Structure 1
Amino acid sequence: MIDFIRVHYDDKNQLETFVLDKTKFEKAFTVLEYHSGVIMYPYRVNLENMEIVINEKSGYVKNSIHKLNNLLLEGDEHNHNDFSYSQLCSMIDFLNDNVIDIASNKITQFEFGLNIKIPVKPEDFISKNVLMHNFEKHTAIRKFKGRGYLLEFEHYNYKIKIYDKSKQYRIKKDNILRFEIKFLNSKEFNPLGVYNINDLKDVQVLNKLFNYLLKRYDELLIVDGFSSESISDKDVQKLGMYSSFSYWENLINNNQRQTKMNNKRKYLKMLENYKLLKRKNYLREQLIAKFKELMVN
């Protein structure tokens, strides 16, 4: 569900007083100019895994509230398990109780996503089946030295992230895929009813966020493997051509927008006719089932 959040303080004064209160935080980290001995910004403290930072003119609180939940409950900072609605509400209450005025200030970024168990290795699924978003190439592939595999599609106000959560945490018994939207700008999430952290406890808001996630998921091009054994050579060639992001990029570069629209319809029709959307449909059903499960727990 909700993972990373970032709350921005335009007025840093009360937050700064709070951060520098020795009764609240045993350690506060600053920058010291060696020659003059002058203490400089930023000031930093930690509430468990949450970072609280004061800059010269503003401040912010950020990090994963999913990891915060596991740190408080298990003493382990991870986010490969489920994070239910009741746990989300508990963590928001915890922040309200332990960080001054956090609900009175605006969220500027956050992540909304789900961990799904799938029958194949997530890295294989991501690398072989996830082709494009809105017929555009990914903006990043990240490999974390044997600790994960992430595919990312970045847009102006948001990112789509799909990654191998089981490999990230070296979990061998389950294949855990993470599908996530990272909201980068309030213009994208304010219309969904999100302004401050308390809005993330609103069931209607969470439903809107999930419908938004499904919308972005539906825009992904996720295609099953295919061969000439069940498809004619001619159509295999067409499918191979249509499955290449460079083909669609060339159409745009050559200003062939009408051709692109026509061929998109043909391609999607071929995928339906040859039943090459089974994995995409399966995963969509799993996302819906997981969200419903989390909301009642």
Structure 2
Amino acid sequence: MGFDCRLWENRPELKFQVLKECDSNIALGSKRAYFNGLSFVIEPKGIARVKGSIHRFFNNGSHNADRFTFENFTIAVNDLLAFGINPETAILRSFEIGLNLDTTTCKIDNKTFLESILYCKGAKRSDMEIHEKLGYGYVFKTTNAKYKFYDKSIQSDIQNAELLRIETKFTRMRAVENYGLRTLSDLLDKEKLSKLIVDKYLKPIDETIFFEWEQIKTTRKIPTKYKSKFKDLRNPDWWIKDERSRIDRHRNKLLLEKLVTLYAKRNIKNILKDLISLELQAFTRNKNCYEYTEFESLNNWNKSDNAKKSVTNAQRIVGCDLHDQREGKKKKKYCLICGKEITGQKTDSKYCNDQRKCRDKAYNLKVSETRKKKKSDKEKEIIKLIEKIGDKLSLTRTTNPNRKKTKGVKTRKTSIIVTINGKRKYYHGSQARFFLNEFDKKTDKPNKHPKPE
């Protein structure tokens, strides 16, 4: 806000280009300049944007495949001040957090890690295209974020190395609005950043379901009561079925992890979490001390009691982001009729399930409103008809609308036939009586209708 774009235009390292029309030489679209891995954009309305990798910017635009610590991030943000980018006023529109994991120490290749992912946040797996080839990475796209797992060494053309990249990209800022993240300076706040990494990066990894097929090729060792179930649990499509609830998914996740622990030679998810823990320790280090004490929550996330909530000791439920609601606490819902809380019912529930009373009452109200609307529309039509035809209208053969009902005697229904341009229109019952009353008001001849023969 209030940024002077001339500051960028006057810097010699920023060489802006813009697409122009051949005949008139009129600029079409935004001005763009590329420098050290960042794209500086000036839109026609004067709005300035910066896109790209701040990790690559820190490495002078060469690559972003090495370790990027919090101290490196702080230095890179300070370097942006030279371009007039103030962290306090630079508003975030989207950003990503991720780690480059060296998998050579565990002797498991990246492809094995990638192929072992069965389920992530309820999203269907999509292939990432790296150098116009598929099979080196996968994306799980949800409403507000993308979860990426891919081979960083292939993407960065690094020889004789195994780097696995695990990344979370927040495509909409409403995904992190509960963490007070709005500007670039908010990412420098260690408390906010720690909470964000634990909740939005590490927790989804903890909830992601991994299964290494080669470790349990057959069901021979599996107990008979689990054999049939195990065939479902190792199928990726089975996990993302719409009818599967969070609790059911979590229960089956625990069963699969139990079977892996008992009958597989290794647990690939635990190995991956150990690699992440080591990289997090490196992320928190600086030149003066081994690690920041402010990031203690990151260093402790992989301990045995970390997967439990501090209050209830209930294990984390497997998450699913296939919704268009804002992430955070689940909003309470109440019955539209009696006001009873129905948060635990189905997503589309509007009424409580107590003996169907509220749903029946809501249905009756809906029917009543429909009838009222229909009656009102018909009455408007009658008034318009009377005003249009006026004194030319004559009524014949109608019952007396003022006739009193006698108990036990069947009352004949009032009916009216109106002929307009050779076409007949019929009005019966309450509509006919309304017609008669309005016609009397129009002609000032109350109760002068001919008696039925």
Q: 1:49 to 1:141 in 2, by over 3 A?
A: closer
Could you tell me whether the CA contact under 8 Å between 2:36 and 2:56 is conserved in 1? Answer: no
The 3 A distance-change label for structure 1 pair 33 and 203 is: same
Q: Residue 191 in 1 paired to residue 178 in 2?
A: yes
Aligned-residue offset at 1:191: 2.1
CA distance in 1, matches of 2:249, 2:160: 42
Asked whether 1:241 is paired with 2:232, we answer: yes
Aligned match for 1:89, one of 71, 74, 83: 74
- Counterparts of 1:99 and 1:138 in 2: how far apart (Å)? 40
Aligned partner of 1:279 in structure 2 is 268
Give the structure 2 partner of residue 171 of structure 1: 158
For residues 201-222 of structure 1, give each alpha carbon's deviation from its aligned partner in whole angstroms, at most 9, with x where no partner exists: 2222221232021111112111
Instruction: Give 1:285 deviation, angstroms.
Output: 2.2
> Tell me, what secondary structure is at the counterpart of 2:137?
strand
| Partner secondary structure for residue 269 of structure 2 | helix
Q: Which amino acid aligns with 1:231?
A: I
Residues 254-289 of structure 1 show CA distances to partners (whole Å, capped at 9, x for unaligned) of xx446x844651452242144158111121122122
After superposition, give the CA deviation of every residue in 1:165-222 in whole Å (9 maximum; x if it has no partner). 1222333433211111101111112322322222222222221232021111112111
SS in 1 for 2:204: helix
Contact 1:227/1:236 (<8 A) preserved = no
Cα contact 1:148–1:164 (8 A) shared by 2? no
CA displacement, residues 222-241 of structure 1 (integer Å, 9 cap, x when unaligned)? 11331235324763542222
Once superposed, what is the RMSD of the aligned Cα atoms?
Answer: 2.6
Q: How far is 1:54 from its partner?
A: 1.2
User: 2:177 and 2:256 mapped to 1: Cα distance?
Assistant: 38
8 Å contact kept, 1:19–1:25:
no
Q: What is the TM-score with the length of structure 2 in the denominator?
A: 0.55
Greater helix share, structure number: 1
**Relative to 1, partners in 2 of residues 1:143 and 1:17: Cα closer, same or farther, differing over 3 Å?**
closer
Q: Residue by residue, what CA displacement relative to the aligned partner does 1:15-34 show, whole Å, maximum 9, x if unpaired?
A: 4222322x454622122221
Alignment length, in residue pairs? 275
- The aligned residue for residue 116 of structure 1 is 101
Checking the alignment, whether the CA contact within 8 Å between 1:166 and 1:172 is kept in structure 2 is yes
Q: Distance in 2 between matches of 1:117 and 1:207?
A: 22
2:136 aligned partner:
149
- Distance in 2 (alpha carbons) for counterparts of 1:19 and 1:147: 38
Residue 148 of structure 1 contacts residue 165 of structure 1 at CA under 8 Å; is this kept in 2?
no
DSSP 3-state at the match of 1:142: coil
Contact 2:14 2:35 in 1 (8 A): no
1:183, 1:26 → 2: CA distance? 28
Q: Distance in 1 between matches of 2:42 and 2:127?
A: 31
Residue 278 (structure 2) aligns with:
289
Distance 2:96 2:32 in 1: 23
Q: TM-score, normalised by structure 1?
A: 0.82
Contact 2:77 2:87 in 1 (8 A): no
CA distance in 2 between partners of 1:88 and 1:240 (Å): 45
Aligned to 1:48: 36
Deviates more, 1:269-278 or 1:88-97: 269-278
Distance 1:155 1:92 in 2: 29
The letter of the residue matching 1:95 is L
The residue number in structure 1 matching 2:5 is 16
Letter in 1 for 2:254: L
Structure 1 residue 223 and structure 2 residue 241: aligned? no
- Once the two structures are superposed, what CA deviation does each residue of 1:45-92 show, in whole Å capped at 9, x if it has no partner? 233221111112323101101111112xxxx62111101111111000
- Closer, same or farther: CA 126–100 of 1 in aligned 2, 3 Å: closer
Counterpart in 2 of 1:5? none
Does the CA contact (< 8 Å) of 2:239 and 2:249 recur in 1?
A: no
SS in 2 for 1:151: strand
Give structure 2 stretches of 5+ with no counterpart.
287-453
Q: Tell me which of 180, 188, 193 is aligned to 1:206.
A: 193
**Cα distance in 2, alignment partners of residues 120 and 36 from structure 1:** 60
Pick from 18, 24, 28: which aligns with 2:16? 28
Larger radius of gyration: 2
Work out whether residues 41 and 54 of structure 1, in 8 Å CA contact, stay in contact via their aligned partners in 2: no
Whole-Å separation in 2 of the counterparts to 1:231 and 1:139: 31
State the secondary structure of the residue aligned to 2:124.
Answer: coil
CA distance in 1, matches of 2:128, 2:37: 27
**Pair 1:79–1:100, CA change in 2 (3 A):** closer
What is the SS of the residue equivalent to 1:80? coil
2:74 is paired with a residue of what secondary structure? helix
Could you tell me which runs of 5 or more consecutive residues in structure 1 were left unpaired when the two chains were aligned. 1-10
Cα distance change on mapping 1:55 and 1:218 into 2, 3 Å: same
